[in-house]
Every structure is written in structure tokens, then in C-alpha cells.
Amino acid sequence: MTYPIDDIRADFPILSREVYGRPLVYLDNAATTQKPRAVVEAIAQEYYSVNANVHRGVHFLSQQTTTLHEEARERVRAFIGAQSVSEIVFTRGTTESLNLVATSFGETFLQEGDEVLLTVMEHHSDIVPWQLLRERKGIVIKVIPMNDAGVLDMEAYERLFTPRTRLVCVAHVSNVLGTVNPIARMAEVAHAHGAYLLADGAQSVPHFKVDVQALGCDFLTFSGHKIYGPTGIGVLYGREALLEQMQPYQGGGEMIARVTFEKTTYERLPYKFEAGTPDYVGSHALAAAIDYVEGIGMDRITAQERELTKYAMARMADIPGMQLYGTAPDKDAVVAFNVKDIHPLDLGTLLDRLGIAIRTGHHCAQPLMARCGVEGMARASFALYNTKEEIDTFVAGLERVVKMF
Ligand code: PLP
């Protein structure tokens, strides 16, 4: 069956707008994706006709929003193959999910001198929370290196383990290099050493089928806005046995069973980690986004995006002075690059005037920039609605810009 690109693009009204009088070519999807009508309508409909605070409300609307919210949780559970809805915690996004684990897992399971392994390609949101914990508890952070293609050094990884290693945190897909890291193998190694593994799925869950049980990870994080859902909602998957033991992250309404001034007992999972009014409209809209991608089919989306990535890399490689970063055999829909000694900010600004949106800078991965010996890079990243014609426009734009220098 051919990929229904015209129908798909018609679902995203923003894609037909112009910037600076030119058709928009949106290649900043790793930062955030555009939203299909189905998601925007789910939000509007909920506010127009259902809205009420969830949980414990006896009235009709409250029960209806609660049902939608809990159905969304079940939708997320099925999407990532978790065993139980108790393992699905709604958060504000990947960043909050990672901070939750650093705080609550850190509080419960980590002592001074315990070791956490991170990869050199982690996003700042999977580095800084661990550094904050290091300041509070004196944990030790160790870094898994990679080769020049952007592939993790698995031998070095195994050598980093000691009896004090407790947790490995790894981006499932690098937001800069596009490398798909071998989570299943890494989790096996971690478990063999008595450690746990957290996969940051911010850049994997939107692009290919992710099944937490097949991966064997203990935690998985992702953001709604990177998978065509709304901003402000995200997910933490955690193994029930771990979440059960972990300290709450924040205190407040929703997360308690009983409160007295002497003592508070906590709600059952996953509510123990969801203090305050949750983003029940966001959860419902995230479920609509999941319905949308599954309606197209994750396998078809992956095939389409991988094809685009290969095509883009091949065309870009022909530009004189092009340096591509991240050439791992298993690579997802991100292409980071520099051309000649043109500052990436100049590249991005000039392409923008041609209607082409890319991202430039350190991509919240300054240690990775240091490993690559640069201050910044330009990055094009693809989504299910991008086309080869857009890549051609992008490459033509790049050629035009490069000639100016
Ligand atoms: N992890 C990775 C790999 C990312 O690419 C991003 C966002 O770019 C994040 C974490 C943080 O996601 P958010 O800003 O949605 O919390």
C-alpha cells in the first residue's frame, strides 16, 4: 500500500502555511512535532463539552473526564506494551519524568558512592538531574563513550560496571546523532550486574514501535509534544516493583490515601506520583495522538522516515565541505551537520528566510558537542509528514547558502 502522504499532510493545517512568502518546510521535528486536527479537536471538544476536575468528583462531568483520563492511561500502556496501568505515570514531559526518577529512585535506592552510568550523547535533561543528585547524595556519575560514527562502545560499557553500579541511563535515540542505542542488550548487561536501566524514549517512541517488555528496560520516558500530542504532558513508565518502593516525587492532592498532621499515607500506583490536578485534557489528547500514529501504522512511519533520512544524507553528502555527524548503521530520523566553517546560526537564519525551519546550536547536548570538537551543529529532523520534495528544497537552500560563503 502506498504511503498516503497527501492525506496525512492535509491532517496538519500548519503545513500549508507560508513563512516569508514561501511554503513552510518544517524540519525541526526532534524539537517538537506539528499537531493533526484529531489532536486539536480532542482538546477543543474536551473543553467545550466535558471539562471538570478528575478523580473523586461525584458529578457526571467529573466522572466523564476521569474515564477519559484513565482510558488514555490504558491507551499509553498498550502502546508501549507495559504490563499494568499502575506502571504509567503522567508527567509534564520527558524532563519531568527524568527528574522524577533521579529524585525518587535516587532517594530510595542510591547512597553515597553508588554509581550511575550515562552515555556521552545524553540530553541535558538526563545529565543535570543526576548532577543535582550527586550534589545532594554524593553519587558517582560515569560516562559511556562512543566511536566517531556515534556508536556506543559496548566493551567500554561493560568495563564501567562495578559492584556499586545501580543504574544505567541511556537515550534510546540520540536527538543529535540519530543513533538507535541497543537498549535490550544494554539492559541485559545492566541486569547481569544487578543494576537497572532507564531508556529515554523522547526520540524513539515517536518514530518506531517501542515495547518496554521486549526492551527489558526498567524505566522509559517520553514527551507528548514530540509524538504529535500536546505540550505539557509526558509519560514515565516504571516497573511496578520499583515504583512501589520509590518515595513520592511531589506532595499534594491526588497522591495521598490519608493525611493527618502526624502522618500521611500514599495513594496506590500510579497516583502516588501524580500530585495535584493532572493534565487530564493533555492525556486525552495524547491518546488521540497515539490513535493517529497507530492509524497510519508505526512500521509504515518508520519505513517512510528512514527512507527520507537516507535520501537526505546522500544528497547532503554531495555538498562540498559537508560534515555529517552520526553515521551509525542503526540511525533514526535526525541529521546533524556543519558545512565548511559556516556558523550553524548563520546557516539556520539564512535557511529560515527560504521558509526552511531547522535547529541550530548545542541541542541540549553540550558534552556531546565537546566530544565532537564543536560548539554547535545544524540539525534537520524528520516526521511522518515530510516529503522528498521538502528535502530537495532544503538541499537546494543549503547549496544556495553555502555558495554565499
Ligand atoms: N531527551 C531527549 C533525547 C530529547 O530529545 C529531549 C528534547 O529534545 C528531551 C529529553 C527533553 O524533552 P522535553 O523537553 O519534552 O522534556
Domain C-terminal end among 246, 262, 294: 294
Same domain, 268 and 336: no
Q: Which residues have CB under 8 Å from 301's CB, separation 6+? A: 207, 208, 293, 384
- Residue 263 belongs to some domain of the structure: yes
Same domain, 312 and 325: yes
**Atom 4, ligand 1: residue with shortest CA distance:** 202
Same domain, 182 and 313: no
- Residue 230 belongs to some domain of the structure: yes
How high is the pLDDT of residue 302?
98
Same domain, 238 and 127: yes
| DSSP β-bridge partners for residue 380 | 335
pLDDT tens-digit series, residues 58-88: 999 999 999 999 999 999 999 999 999 999 9
- Residue 287 belongs to some domain of the structure: yes
**Atom 7, ligand 1: residue with shortest CA distance:** 31
Range of the domain at 368: 5-30+297-403
Residue 214 — pLDDT band, cuts 50, 70, 90?
A: very high
Residue 28 — pLDDT band, cuts 50, 70, 90?
A: very high
Residue 395's identity, in one-letter code, is V
Same domain, 278 and 340: no
- Ligand 1 mean position to 402 CA, how many Å? 30
Mean pLDDT calculated for residue range 90-119: 98
- Ligand 1 mean position to 201 CA, how many Å? 9
- Are 90 and 249 in contact by the 8 Å Cβ rule? The answer is no
Same domain, 304 and 288: no
- Ligand 1 mean position to 296 CA, how many Å? 24
- Residue 143 belongs to some domain of the structure: yes
Q: CATH number, domain at 381?
A: 3.90.1150.10
In the structure, which protein residues have their CB atom closer than 6 angstroms to any atom of ligand 1?
A: 30, 93-95, 123, 125, 171, 175, 200, 202-203, 223
Distance set, CA 352 to CA 357, 371, 386 (Å): 6, 28, 17
Same domain, 216 and 309: no
Site to probe by mutation for ligand 1, drawn from 121, 123, 176 as the one with most ligand atoms within 8 Å of Cβ, is 123
Percent of the chain with pLDDT over 70: 100
Number of domains, the chain:
2
Same domain, 154 and 281: yes
Domain C-terminal end among 229, 259, 294: 294
How high is the pLDDT of residue 57?
84
- Residue 35 belongs to some domain of the structure: no
- Residue 125 belongs to some domain of the structure: yes
Exposed/middle/buried for residue 85 (C-beta within 10 Å: 0-12, 13-18, 19+): middle
**CA–CA separation, 130 and 341 (whole Å):** 34
For 248, other C-beta atoms within 10 Å of its C-beta total 20
- Ligand 1 mean position to 130 CA, how many Å? 15
- Are 83 and 126 in contact by the 8 Å Cβ rule? The answer is no
**CA–CA separation, 344 and 362 (whole Å):** 10
How high is the pLDDT of residue 268?
97
Distance set, CA 178 to CA 57, 85, 202, 229, 380 (Å): 45, 30, 12, 21, 11
Site to probe by mutation for ligand 1, drawn from 174, 203, 362 as the one with most ligand atoms within 8 Å of Cβ, is 203
Q: Which three cell numbers stand for residue 186?
A: 544494554
- Residue 140 belongs to some domain of the structure: yes
- Ligand 1 mean position to 133 CA, how many Å? 19
Q: CATH number, domain at 230?
A: 3.40.640.10
Residue 56 — pLDDT band, cuts 50, 70, 90?
A: confident
- Residue 36 belongs to some domain of the structure: no
Backbone angles phi, psi at 150, to 5 degrees: 95, 25
Domain C-terminal end among 236, 264, 294: 294
Same domain, 284 and 387: no
pLDDT tens-digit series, residues 163-196: 999 999 999 999 999 999 999 999 999 999 999 9
Give the number of the atom of ligand 1 that is nearest the alpha carbon of residue 92.
16
Same domain, 249 and 339: no
Mean pLDDT calculated for residue range 252-260: 95
Residue 16 — pLDDT band, cuts 50, 70, 90?
A: very high
Give the number of the atom of ligand 1 that is nearest the alpha carbon of residue 363.
8
Say whether 372 is catalytic: no
Same domain, 253 and 343: no
Same domain, 22 and 45: no
Give the number of the atom of ligand 1 that is nearest the alpha carbon of residue 172.
3
- Ligand 1 mean position to 94 CA, how many Å? 6
Mean pLDDT calculated for residue range 200-223: 98
Give the number of the atom of ligand 1 that is nearest the alpha carbon of residue 32.
8
